[in-house]
Chains A and B, each alone.
Chain A
Amino acid sequence: MDNATFTAELDAHRRYLLRVAHLQLRDADLAEDVVQETLVAALSAQAGFTGKSSVKTWLTGILKHKIVDAIRQKQRQPIIQASFDDETDLDDFDPLFKDNGGWAAPPADWGDPENALSRQQFFDIMELCLEKLPPNTARVFMMREVMELESDEICKELTITANNLWVILYRARMALRQCLEQNWFAGQGRG
């Protein structure tokens, strides 16, 4: 890949990188900085790109380290920690379930969901659903499912217990599932 092609390829993923960074940092300026650093690092490491994975996967890998660094910096400010308590508390009351533990609103039939994977619009809806998650929930979920950090790394970086992590990821999945169902699978988007 020549330089111009490579730079254009990097630029094409800019929007994706910004979204992913913003979901984890919830700070537009910081997200911008982290993405800038990622692109600069990618340019200077161009030779290191072997083409074994896609450019996007490779960039996601670089972004991961930049985000972990940014979170470490932020972690020194105590503000971030406080809101974790609200999001990790798995109350016995859960509006998704009846008192006897049965589904209050059972999962709907999604038909052949795989069809959605070829539609860009589906991924736009998924991004919107991720944006709607509470900040720490989104951060943890993105670290796990998009940055592919191991559970124990996430616990270490965010100083939370494994149990907190499971609760947060469970909440994130329940909310994302419901949001996709309401905004894609139940709507006309599916057709």
Chain B
Amino acid sequence: MKSIKHLLGHWLSCKDASRVVSQAQERSLSAFERWRLRMHLAVCDKCTRFERQLQFMREALRRYRS
């Protein structure tokens, strides 16, 4: 039980995950942050979609400026 609670304590909400996905475009995430984000994205289609959309926006802005 203790270990489940411990894991849930590290569980990211979609709100938190979306912030981390955005910050990943500015700085390198720590190993722990990357692990936490991967755990979240593995089970969350919405945030996976969100991450792809941010990557697409970056590509669109790259095209825009070049």
Contact = CB atoms under 8 A, between A and B. Distances in A.
Main secondary structure of the interface of B (DSSP, over half): helix
A2 interface: no
B16 A101 contact: yes
A151 B23 CA distance: 11
A177 B53 contact: yes
B9 to A, nearest CB: 14
Nearest to B64: A123
Given A57-B66, A110-B53, A166 B26 contact: yes
Contacts, number: 84
Interface residues on B, range: 20 to 34
> For chain A, which range describes its interface: under 10, 10 to 19, 20 to 34, or 35 or more residues?
35 or more
Majority DSSP secondary structure for residues of A touching B: helix
A145 B23 contact: no
Interface of B: 13-16, 18-19, 22-23, 25-27, 46, 49-50, 53-54, 56-61, 63-66
Interface of A: 20, 53-54, 56-57, 60, 94, 96-97, 100-103, 106-107, 109-110, 113-114, 116-117, 122-123, 126, 144-146, 148, 151, 162, 165-166, 169-170, 173-174, 176-177, 180
Which 7 pairs, one residue from A and one from B, show the smallest C-beta to C-beta distance? A101-B13, A101-B15, A97-B15, A170-B22, A106-B46, A145-B61, A113-B56
